[in-house]
Structures are given as C-alpha cells and as structure tokens.
Structure 1
C-alpha cells in the first residue's frame, strides 16, 4: 500500500471507512485523558472526520494531518468552514480558528510540526496501516514526540485472512509491542461488533471486535 492507494480511494469515493457520526468511544472516554481545555489534539490520518468538530466543541484546538486534498477540501466545505491556506516546506496548512489540517504525508512530518500538541487521538490511523507499515507508523508517531503524549487509540480485531483491509486487524499484542516501552497501556473497552457490522459479515468475517486503549506516558 502506498500514497497513491489513498488518493485513489478518495478520488473514486471509496470511503466506506469514513464515519458520518461522531465516534461514540471518543465521546465516552476522551475525558479520561484529563486534558485541560485549550490543549491541542493531534489527529493523524484525519480524513474528513467530524470527530475533529467534537473536539473543538469541547474547547480543544485540533491539528490534523491528511494526505488527500479531496478529503481536506470536503471537510471544510461540508462543515461550512472557510480556511486560510498557506504552504510551509511543501505542506499546505488549512487553518480556521482553532483548527488546522496539514495536507501532506504523515511520514514527512517533523518534531517542530507537532511540538505544540498535547495529546493524540488515533481512531483510524493504526488500523489503516497494513502489517508491514504499522511498526514504521508507531515509531514515527513516537519519534514526533520526544516527550510522550497521552493517546486515545481505537483498534479493530478480526481474522485477517477473512477480509482484506483496510481497516486492518490489529491484535492487542501488537499494540503492546509498539507502545509498551514508553506507555502504560490500558485496554478500557473490548466490544463485539460483528452483529452490527453487516458490511463486514457480508464479506465473510466471522468475528469482529473493537478495542479502546488509553495510553499514558510511563512514569517509571
């Protein structure tokens, strides 16, 4: 999977991964990060997620990164927002009040780009990565923050051989292998979602669950 894959998905409107509704786990569990209002939340691979609007409504600032200009354009147009667009080091910055979306490649970011961020919300990033790319993604995310930031992470598990991702199945052991060196990992929810996921059942998936993790920087 490469950058062209995601460009083509947006160009062809193959965006079944996009959720119209605000993610319920975000609404239920974000407060556990105990993040003060006014803090900045980093949302990698943000697409046109309306979750960013919810975070803004809670009094947070939001920095997203998204490779597809179609997704970024749609987000602002669909929500009646009028961004100021500037270019810095080849990355477009789409800014509107307390929201900024960088239109570019996540892997091209540097520490300075996200230094002002206080936490990370990952609902659709890790599960968007095929197995071969996930270690690089997790390493890059942690490299961006020399001082670890708390993370609310949502993943999905199912028999990977039964369906071709994305979204990809990410096992709990993987999450620990990626993050246990710098984080205390708390799996705060595991929920069976197969019966409410006809799209996946129709593809032959026989078991599917979602997990929500709270990753807090290790103190030891």
Structure 2
C-alpha cells in the first residue's frame, strides 16, 4: 500500500481496521508466548491500537512501527502520555516510559535502531500488505527482531470476491514466509461470525517460535 492510501484513511477517519477494544484473540492466546513481565513486545504497523494500552497496563514494554504520524499522535493523546519526539535516521521516534514508536517506513527500521525485543504481535501488518510486499516484509521482520517469537493473526477468504486490505493469507503462505526461521503452529482457525465486509471469512491465529 502506498503511504498516501493510509494517510487518506486516517485523515478521513476511515479506520474500520481500528478496533474499539482490546483484541480478544490477544487476550486468549498471548500467554502462549510464555513471556515474563517487562518483556518488550514489537507491534509492526501498530496504528493507535488499544492493544498497546493493554500491554502497558499489564507490565509489558512496547515498541511499534507505524507509517502515519497522525495515528501515533492520537495514540499518545489517548494514552494521556506526553511523548519525547526525536529523529532517528529516516524515522521519527515517539517515546515515553515503556513505549517506543518509530514513525515512517518500516523498511527503514533496523535491528540496531529497534533494539532487543522479546516477541512480536502482528495483528495488522502482514494482512495489510499486498502480496508483492509480504515476502520482503516477513524477511525484514524476522531479521530486525532476531527471530523473536510471534503471535500472528491472519484472515482467509476468497480474494476474488473481496479486495483487501486486509488481504487473504493462506496457511501455505504463512509457511512460505516463516517455516525456514520458525516452527509454525496454528492455534485457531474459525469462521468470523459476522463475516468480513459482508463476505465469509476465517480468522487464524499462529504461534511462531
């Protein structure tokens, strides 16, 4: 997706992808990663997800990457936290106690800039990227996080009937991205009760470790 696409979504407040509560699949399956408190969780393409507040309130630290600065300005406003803002390479860093969000192109985020992370929570990144970008993204994510374990959420549906994002990602594709670096375990595959934009769809939860 082009930057202008996502920027227009935020400017128009057309952000149906922004959930109004903590993701229930995160609440149900995060313990699968067996992380101690104070672990640092990386959330790629994080937006202003309420999952960040959940992590912070439960004693975890958060690192995130987001293309649209407006989303991160709103995130800190809603957290009620005043960020320190600085330039780090080609990225803008918004930081406060327990939280570091890097604004800009995630491909400009290096392992050195990101720093050590204990796990990755990918609810909205892989599914947001078009097919031609996903292989590059998954390889980059694996590299900058030093193969940190992941909780990954994907959708699966007939892509001919519905244009993404979120894009449909099959089990075969998840394995294509990650089987060389991780053990890939499917934790859940269920029909979305209300469908996805009016179409039948499944939601899948993966543990990569």
What is the TM-score when the length of structure 2 is the normalising length?
0.96
Runs ≥4 residues deviating over 2 A? none
Q: Does 1:213 align with 2:206?
A: yes
Where 2:48 maps in the other structure, the secondary structure is coil
Q: Determine the structure 1 residue equivalent to 2:194.
A: 196
Which stretches in structure 2 are left out of the alignment for 5+ residues? none
Q: Is the 8 A contact 2:65 2:106 kept in 1?
A: yes
Equivalences for residues 2-17 of structure 1 within 5 A: 2-17=2-17
C-alpha distance in 1 between matches for 2:186 and 2:107:
27
Equivalences for residues 58-207 of structure 1 within 5 A: 58-145=58-145, 147-193=146-192, 195-197=193-195, 200-201=197-198, 205=199, 207=200
C-alpha distance in 2 between matches for 1:18 and 1:183:
29
C-alpha distance in 1 between matches for 2:86 and 2:131:
34
Q: Is the 8 A contact 2:90 2:108 kept in 1?
A: no
CA positional deviation for 1:114: 2.3
CA deviation map 1:185-216 (0-9, x unaligned):
110001101x323x611xxx2x2010000000
Q: Determine the structure 2 residue equivalent to 1:26.
A: 26
Where 1:162 maps in the other structure, the secondary structure is coil
CA positional deviation for 1:90: 3.1
Task: State how many pairs are aligned.
Answer: 209
C-alpha distance in 1 between matches for 2:58 and 2:79:
17
What is the TM-score when the length of structure 1 is the normalising length?
0.91
Q: Pairwise CA RMSD of aligned residues?
A: 1.2
C-alpha distance in 2 between matches for 1:90 and 1:177:
30
CA positional deviation for 1:115: 2.9
